[in-house]
Amino acid sequence: MAANVRVLVLRAAGINCDAETVFAWEQAGADVDLLHINRVMERPQRLRDYGALTIPGGFSYGDDIAAGKVLANQLVHHLGEELRRFVNDGKLVLGTCNGFQVLVKAGLLPGGAGNGDWRGRVTIAFNEQGRFEDRWVYLRAEVSHSPWLDPGEMVRFPIAHAEGRFVADSDETLARLRTEDLVALCYVDAEGNPGAFPVNPNGSDDHIAGLTDPTGRVLGLMPHPERNIHPRHDPLGRGPSGRRIFDRAVAFLRAS
Amino acid sequence: MNLWWVEVRPRRPQWDAHGAAVLAQMRSLGLHCVERVASARLFVIEGSLAAADVERAAVELLADPVAEEYVYGGADAPRGRADHIAVEVHLKPGVMDPVARSVKLGLADMGLRVDAVRTARRYDIVGLGSLEQLEFAAWRVLANDCIENAYLTGFGRHDDTPLAAPTPPQANQQVRCVSLSDLHENALQRLSREGHLFLSPDEMQTIRSHFRSLGREPTDLELETLAQTWSEHCVHKTLKSRIVYRGDPMPDASNPQHRSSAPVEIEYANLLADTIARATHTLNLDWCLSVFKDNAGVIAFDDEYGIAFKVETHNHPSAIEPYGGAATGVGGCVRDVIGCGLGAKPIANTDVFCLAPSDWPMERLPRNVLHPVAILRGVVAGVRDYGNRMGIPTINGALAFDGRYLGNPLVYVGCLGLIPRGLIRKQAHPGDRILLVGGCTGRDGLHGATFSSAELTETHADEFAHAVQIGDPITEKKMLDCILQARDHADGCLYSAITDCGAGGLSSAVGEMGSEIGARVQLETVPLKYAGLRYDEIWISEAQERMVLAVPPANVEKLLAVFAAEDVEATVIGEFTDDNTLTVAYRGEVVGELKMEFLHHGLPQQTRVAEWFPPDEPQRVPPQPIQPGDVKRVLIKRLTALNTTSKEWVIRQYDHEVQGGSVVTPLVGRGDGPSDAAVLRPRLDSDRGIAVGCGLCPELADVDPYWMAVAAVDEALRNVVCVGGDPSRTAILDNFCWPKCEDPRTLGALVRACQGAHDAAVAYGLPFISGKDSLNNEFAMSAEEAARCGLPQKLAIPPTLLISAVSIIEDVRRCITAAAKPDASESQFYYIGHCGSHWDEVSLADRLKVHRVIHRLIADGVLTAAHDVGSDGIAVALAEMAIGGHCGISVVEPEKDAQCRLFESQAGGYIVQVPHHKSSDLVHACLDEMLFELVGMIAPEWGFHVTLSDGSVESIPPDELEAAWKKGMFK
């Protein structure tokens, strides 16, 4: 058996889903460190100690300016080089909710370490209904090559956000995301079909709930997998499908 | 020095969610003419920047590359278009602007150093017809006069918008003494009112004699300190007063039908100690770990942890500025939990709002009173933003509507925390340093404690603007993160005591912590938001997100390092002493010196007279059976009533699942039906849980406050029992909101409610662990204004008692909800309880048997759903269960007891769902002890069919049923 899988969960002012994210990783068998962004910015090489990085949900820096913007700005300006190296080394990155917003705004999604030419093409904007929404949703995995997800699998997680509406600048961009296999998850109904609100809970373009980078190893999604890892988490009792995400990641890192 | 502005706006109108929300709000307040609102964010940046730097800031930081576009310019460049109707909203000087702080940080991360940043909002409005409408839109929807300035353009008006940094006024620091010794009674009272001290003539005279005996006059700071510490808000002097009660005798809860009408006289040496606190002491339960003496009550959760629970009110601030009032209410209550023992970790929030009906006509709104819809939107947003941003799930609450809440809405906020059992005690020691941590101190929130201890009037919005403030949950979250690290430090807890800096600011926090020893504070060391505060403003400011720690000298450096590592302010501002004196100095000069003995024990106990006689009792008429054919109409009417209809619009805006421990949340089943209570697992590694619920029955206040209190306790207990809570491990909290108690009848109502709460708590075995009262909940207006609105000149709220309950659940896997379970084939629905709508018809001992039976049936896995029945009756409860489960129920009106009809209001009781093969267990458990009636069967298809006792059948189409209930408070 390979050495223990070490996971870094990042904390910053306003990040607030860190404890349950750490717990989810631990349940999957990982050794987890929870570190404040200040400690990582002091010595960015710390990232090299870990096989996976998670940016949990919350309201980093109050979501001032825009959701995830200030933390994304810190990643870009203080950790940019180390993050590129991290991804290129075959490691995993997960951003949930605010973490997803951070990854998109830092350019790591959907472009990955190279960032590609996605700047100005996709973003995450205010929910169509103009307010925070807490709701359980069904999701279908779209990506064919990500260590995090099985193609076509259905999972059920809650969303809890005000700014979770995935927006692309054009239909060409949406088509390109599909062609390049960068759409990780879509909002669907219990039967697996896309639909209007509340199936698509925030008005996201093409029902997109999550993205991956071209390697499939960087995953970001608005819903919260760490909130469905216990049999009593899902109010309708459809099972703790969030566990699969973390279990698979640990298995992937053990094998690599 | 350069000054630049950057304006950022959505690239497409459909991406302007904020503009759309504002538009909806304008229309809901009657501005139907408005066609479109375009919103924009404005950043004002001061610093040595070149145009290229500003362009880069806009592109990389301020504007979203897809969804937004930007323009920028120098101080003189015109903004917006001169031909537009527009409003620009800027914060007033000194009001906290967290976004500006983040922009400054973001610019620094990009290598751009600037001197100052400010933010503002701009709205371009299409469709307004007059300056009057523009002003209405600006002041009723877009800006709040307490904290913001609005600059209007249009209809001939063109306000000049100043961009330069406003300078807060600089104070004269000369020490002021107040001459009390030669003031006569009238002058003393005038000083009390005009100085916003709100002390009674008795109290003013006690202070005058004290300083006469010292041979000097008090400083302004000393007088302020006494007013804060002696305020109703801080010391609860009414509830602690000696009260002589005359009037109707108290019912005998063990035998309520035994009634005597001869008036009695009862004396309470201390109302609170003789009722609420006495119940807890009588019960003397070993799982109550800390009651009444700390910021929150604590009960045992398991061998390692306790659960802390606190509920507060923030009524007056929320009446004036709903968003800030509710948000800072949440923030303060959360700090009470953080400041409980040596620090509890907040795990859940609760909220209860009492408002005037949301369809209140605009033309009947008194001057300076916000419309209930505006209040509801504001307080929901405030609770939402504070709880969600701090990462605390808001899991339980209630809404009650009554026209008498119009001028004085009630906003209750609660917080639960998890605390290691070894950290429940705290004690500051002489020599410990006083550390102030968290936010900086500003001129915000002066006189909050005294302000909330007076009645509201038409002029309050102007007079008390300074009492209102805006919360900053991220600062509180950062502070919490550091406090928990200092608490759980490898060297042991780094501090010996902690408390919240809430009402009364430093004066209350330091005064309280050092009450047994003494304290000395150097005010010039307090970190300020801006220069120019007077020493007494620093001392009593209620600036949010601050806490005070007592730290042994050896730990100070370690503690400061914990806070510095995460950019959180922490400053030594003084030390605790052994001279039993509170000494306050500013720049070397003593500006206040008060004996702790006088500060904390000098308040004269009041003696007051209370009376209560029952209103002329209407003849109790036997319930009338519902007419055949009328079922649908009555049912739909009740489901759409404001007090019953779905609260989904509120609930969805709260995060119920953050922290990962939620088991039962407020909307249950496939159809999002109502839940009676919430359940969560405070420890992720355990299936042990807590249920949280509440009871609130203001509609009974007019009948008898004694039974109102009993009913509220019973409802709170029913709610937690419905999901699996254990009546023998349930603790409760009391929050009284009352009109002015100067009127002996109002005080009499309070006495009866206290007695009823005591009797119910003792009979049920539910200890009170914490409580709070808010008196003077009245709105006074001029005679003309009252006549214009068709209201009494003094609009007093109905006496309102909120009971909150927390119950331990052995194993959350046994929990059930109120949603009917469609998969339990051939299951049946029973009503279990006692029949009748009057609380005085059944003894509390008999009612307790029902609660216990339901708990046992759930713990044994007999039931698949349970729901509380209230004043809406059995049919409405069944309809809610059907809506939640999205499944059909065939309802049958029981024949044998005429009292128990489907549409009669019930004084307590449950509807339970039981699978057919387990119904004998249910019958066996209830037999001979209580009433149990079969009232329905699961139907094969989603629908609602009602068979009345006369045999007539009526089916209500499920979509109509659902639509009625989901209509909501407003659309």
Q: Return d(Cα B954, Cα B912) in angstroms, integer.
A: 22
Which uninterrupted H or E stretch holds A20?
helix A18-27
Three-state SS at B231: coil
Tell me whether residue A224 is one of the annotated catalytic residues: yes
A135 touches chain B (CB under 8 A): yes
- Residue B258's pLDDT is 79
- Residue B41's pLDDT is 96
DSSP B456-485: EETTHHHHTGGG-----HHHHHHHHHHHHH
**How many domains, in total, are found in chain A?**
1
Q: Which of B61-65, B367-371, B404-408, B742-746 has the lowest mean pLDDT?
A: B367-371
Chain A contacts in chain B segment 10-29 (CB below 8 A):
15, 17-18, 20-21
- Average pLDDT (B814-834) is 90
Mean pLDDT of chain B: 92
Residue B462 has pLDDT above 60, yes or no: no
Pick from A162, A225, A156: which is nearest to A190 by CA?
Answer: A156
Task: Specify if A39 maps to a domain.
Answer: yes
| Percent of chain B scoring above 70 in pLDDT | 95
Residues 6 or more apart from B213 whose CB is under 8 A from it?
Answer: none
Residue B466 has pLDDT above 60, yes or no: no
DSSP B288-317: EEE-SSSSSEEEE-SSSEEEEEEEEE-HHH
Three-state SS at A81: helix
Say which residue the tokens 């990955």 belong to.
A112
b/e B587-607 (16+ beta carbons within 10 angstroms → b): eeeebbbbbbebbbebbeeee
Chain A contacts in chain B segment 507-536 (CB below 8 A):
none
Structure tokens at B524: 């010039």
Chain B contacts in chain A segment 45-74 (CB below 8 A):
57-59, 61-66, 69-70, 73-74
B668 touches chain A (CB under 8 A): yes
- Average pLDDT (B937-948) is 90
Question: What is the band of B504 on the pLDDT scale with cuts at 50, 70, 90?
Answer: confident
Chain A contacts in chain B segment 177-236 (CB below 8 A):
none
B102 touches chain A (CB under 8 A): yes
**How do B607-612 and B589-595 pair as beta strands?**
unpaired
Please indicate whether, in this complex, the C-beta atoms of B384 and A132 are within 8 angstroms of each other.
Answer: yes
Pick from B381, B107, B476, B337: which is nearest to A13 by CA?
Answer: B476
Interface contacts A/B by beta carbons within 8 Å: 166
- Residue B619's pLDDT is 65
Pick from A222, A37, A58: which is nearest to B473 by CA?
Answer: A58
Residues 6 or more apart from B347 whose CB is under 8 A from it?
Answer: B392, B393, B416, B417, B418, B659, B661, B680, B682
Residue B409 has pLDDT above 90, yes or no: yes
B813 touches chain A (CB under 8 A): yes
Q: What type of residue is A214?
A: P
Say how far residue B771 (Cα) sits from the centre of its chain. 13
Question: What is the band of B569 on the pLDDT scale with cuts at 50, 70, 90?
Answer: very high
Mean pLDDT of chain A: 96
ipTM higher than threshold 0.85: yes
Q: Say if CB B444 and CB B96 are below 8 A apart.
A: yes
Mutate to test the interface with B, among A23, A38, A61 (most CBs of B within 10 A): A61
- Residue B234's pLDDT is 83
- Residue B554's pLDDT is 98
- Residue B450's pLDDT is 59
- Looking at residue A125, which CATH number applies to its domain? 3.40.50.880
Residue B674 has pLDDT above 50, yes or no: yes
A108 touches chain B (CB under 8 A): no
- Residue B897's pLDDT is 61
- Average pLDDT (B696-700) is 94
Three-state SS at B406: coil
Question: What is the band of B460 on the pLDDT scale with cuts at 50, 70, 90?
Answer: low
Q: Return d(Cα B425, Cα B407) in angstroms, integer.
A: 41
- Residue B10's pLDDT is 94
- Residue B183's pLDDT is 86
Please state the domain extents for chain B: 3-158, 816-971
Query: How confident is the model over A187-206, as pLDDT tens digits?
Result: 999 999 999 999 999 999 99
Looking at per-residue pLDDT, the higher value among B614 and B857 belongs to: B857
- Residue B96's pLDDT is 76
Nearest CA in chain B to A202: B17
Task: Specify if A235 maps to a domain.
Answer: yes
Q: Return d(Cα B360, Cα B292) in angstroms, integer.
A: 39
A191 touches chain B (CB under 8 A): no
- Average pLDDT (B199-206) is 92
Q: Say if CB B465 and CB B456 are below 8 A apart.
A: no
Tell me whether residue A36 is one of the annotated catalytic residues: no
- Residue A188's pLDDT is 98
- Residue B150's pLDDT is 94
Structure tokens at B60: 């990389």
A77 touches chain B (CB under 8 A): yes
Which structural domain, as residue segments, surrounds residue A83?
A: 6-255
- Residue A1's pLDDT is 46
Looking at chain A, the number of H-run helices and the number of E-run strands are 6, 11
Which one is catalytic: B32, B84, B158, B233? B233
Which one is catalytic: A17, A97, A133, A233? A97
Residues of chain A contacting residue B812, judged by C-beta atoms under 8 Å apart: 232
Low-confidence ranges of chain A (pLDDT < 50): 1
Task: Specify if A218 maps to a domain.
Answer: yes
Beta strand ranges found along B624-688 (DSSP E): 662-664, 667-668, 673-674, 678-680
Q: Say if CB A101 and CB A125 are below 8 A apart.
A: no
Please indicate whether, in this complex, the C-beta atoms of A62 and B389 are within 8 angstroms of each other.
Answer: yes
b/e B880-903 (16+ beta carbons within 10 angstroms → b): bbbbbbbbbbbbbbbeeeeebbbb
B109 touches chain A (CB under 8 A): yes
Residue B587 has pLDDT above 80, yes or no: yes
B684 touches chain A (CB under 8 A): yes
Please indicate whether, in this complex, the C-beta atoms of A130 and B18 are within 8 angstroms of each other.
Answer: yes
Tell me whether residue B314 is one of the annotated catalytic residues: yes
Task: Specify if A1 maps to a domain.
Answer: no
Residue B288 has pLDDT above 90, yes or no: yes
Query: How far is the alpha carbon of A251 from chain B, nearest alpha carbon, in Å?
Result: 22
How many beta carbons lie within 10 A of that of residue B578, not counting itself? 12
Give how far Cα B36 sits from Cα of B13, B69, B153, B575, Å. 9, 19, 16, 58
Task: Specify if A12 maps to a domain.
Answer: yes
Query: How confident is the model over B328-357, as pLDDT tens digits?
Result: 999 999 999 999 999 999 999 999 999 999
Write down the CATH number for the domain with range B3-158. 3.30.1280.10
Task: Specify if A84 maps to a domain.
Answer: yes
Chain B contacts in chain A segment 217-246 (CB below 8 A):
224, 226-227, 229-233, 235-236
Residues of chain B contacting residue A160, judged by C-beta atoms under 8 Å apart: 388, 655-658
Residues of chain A contacting residue B658, judged by C-beta atoms under 8 Å apart: 16-17, 20, 57, 160, 227
Residue B403 has pLDDT above 80, yes or no: yes
Query: How confident is the model over B29-62, as pLDDT tens digits?
Result: 788 999 999 999 999 999 999 999 999 999 999 9
Superfamily of chain region B816-971: PurM-like C-terminal domain (3.90.650.10)
Say how far residue B655 (Cα) sits from the centre of its chain. 16
